[in-house]
Amino acid sequence: MLIVQKFHSIHEIDPEFIPNIEVLLQEDVASFATLVQRHDGAPEGNVFTYFLFFGPTQNAPIGFAQLCLKPVPAHDLLPWHKRLAFWDKSHQHWKQVTWEIGDGSSGMCVFDPRFARSGRDKIQELIKEYEARPDVVGEELYCIKGLQDFHLSMTNEIKWSKEIFVLEPLSKAFKNYQDYLGSLVPDVRKQIKESWKELHKNSEIELGDYPSPLDTPKTLPIPAEQLEVWAKWGAQVLTFEKDLQVLGCLLVLKGKNGNIFFEPFPFEPEGEVLVDDELYTQYALLKFFEMPDARKCHLMKFGSKLVFEEREDLKFFQSQGFQLKTVVRQFQSRLKELEQPL
């Protein structure tokens, strides 16, 4: 039997639990700070609940889940004749419950594998609890296909589902970057090598590597406040530089147990690009293979994993060794006017 502890703000979670949460989410986020940033930057009106799960003999969390209650814009959904019933105020409190960790690319929950079955049962109980609330008129789940199987059971529901494709990490299966390049198919390997050659010989672009964001060139077009936040996270920064100008950079975050997260920030104007998109990925991999404790290389965008609506769009990354997973968005609604999730 699992014990559940609820928190209605991420800032209420006991600091002693944070290291264990980071281990549970080690392949999803670089640090707990990522979740805090998403919580603090959420749209006004969104209310979060965080669930920590404990085993009968554990003092540390063995599972983590998250939901968000979003206000439903009833005035935009109600037909005119229902809006005339001014005495009925129930629609002012309508909510959609969305079960997702972070942006949903990690699914709706994570458990220590030893507690996967009991964790699944407990989550299903919580789903039913929220379905019973009169103010909840819609619910949305993000489930990892093949790993998370949860059911919605609203009555008179509108049903909607969609698959999205999440870029998964590249594992360190080779001793060095050269061996990694040698493992790629000839066409991809040739293209990458030619891009590096063009970068160094013809464009005369230099690679920068800064242990702290505060050590980066003054010409880096990132606000000082953001650099200070990165520094607090223990980040480092990789750059592409030419003639004292920074053409782009990569944020590098070291997560738990060898999980390394890279996020590219290109600064060149569209149509005048000297650094191809693929070189941001390759510079990340070059650095990744140089890091002795690194095990998995993750790519991010806007602080989250890369998500695609079409499977074909991942081929570029798959050809370079990255994996993918499928996340299913499920949605049900009690309102015929609310046909898709907010």
As a whole number of angstroms, the distance between CA 342 and CA 334 comes to 14
pLDDT in 10s for each residue of the chain, 342 residues: 899 999 999 999 999 999 999 999 999 999 999 899 999 999 999 999 999 999 988 899 999 999 999 999 877 766 645 554 554 555 678 999 999 998 888 899 999 999 999 999 999 999 999 999 999 999 999 999 999 989 888 876 778 999 999 999 999 999 999 999 999 999 999 999 999 999 988 778 999 999 999 999 999 999 999 999 999 999 999 999 999 899 999 999 999 999 999 999 999 998 889 999 999 999 999 999 999 999 999 999 988 999 999 999 999 899 999 999 999 999 999 888 888 998
How large is the greatest C-alpha to C-alpha distance in the chain, in angstroms?
74
Residue 90 pLDDT: 59
The two tokens of residue 247 are 């053409």
Q: Which pLDDT belongs to residue 89?
A: 58
**Residue located via tokens 């870029």:** 167
Which run of H or of E encompasses 227?
A: helix 224-232
pLDDT at 254: 97
Which pLDDT belongs to residue 78?
64
Q: Under the phi-then-psi rule, with left for phi > 0, alpha for psi from -120 to 50, and beta for the rest, what region is 205?
A: beta
DSSP state of 184: S
> In a 3-state reduction of DSSP, which class is residue 249?
strand
User: Which pLDDT does position 92 carry in this prediction?
Assistant: 78
Which residue, 256, 220, 259, is CA-closest to 238?
220
pLDDT at residue 87, as a whole number: 46
| CA gap 261, 291 in Å, rounded | 12
- 232 residue type, one letter: K
Q: What are phi and psi of 143, to 5 degrees?
A: -125, 135
Determine phi and psi for 202, rounding to 5 degrees.
-90, -40
Both tokens of residue 157?
A: 């529901």
Distance CA 79, CA 290 (A): 61
B/e letters for 246-285, b = 16+ CB within 10 Å, e = fewer, are bbbbbbbbbbeebbbbbbbbbbeeeeeebbeebbbbbbbb
Distance CA 43, CA 62 (A): 29
Count of CA atoms in the C-beta half-sphere (13 A) of 254: 16
User: For residue 36, what pLDDT is reported?
Assistant: 94
Distances (CA, A) of 312 to 133, 162, 167, 315, 317: 40, 16, 12, 6, 10
Length of the chain: 342
Q: What angle do CA 289, 290, 293 make, to 5 degrees?
A: 80
Judging by DSSP bridges, how do beta strands 47-54 and 3-7 pair with one another? antiparallel
**How high is the pLDDT of residue 83?**
55
Report the distance separating Cα 44 and Cα 41, nearest Å. Answer: 9
Cα distances from 267 to residues 182, 220, 277, in angstroms, run: 30, 9, 12
Residue 166 in 3-state DSSP? Answer: strand
The confidence score (pLDDT) of residue 159 equals 87
What's the pTM? 0.91
User: Residue 110 corresponds to which amino acid?
Assistant: V
d(CA 87, CA 79): 15
Specify the 3-state DSSP secondary structure of 31. coil
Distance CA 41, CA 27 (A): 22
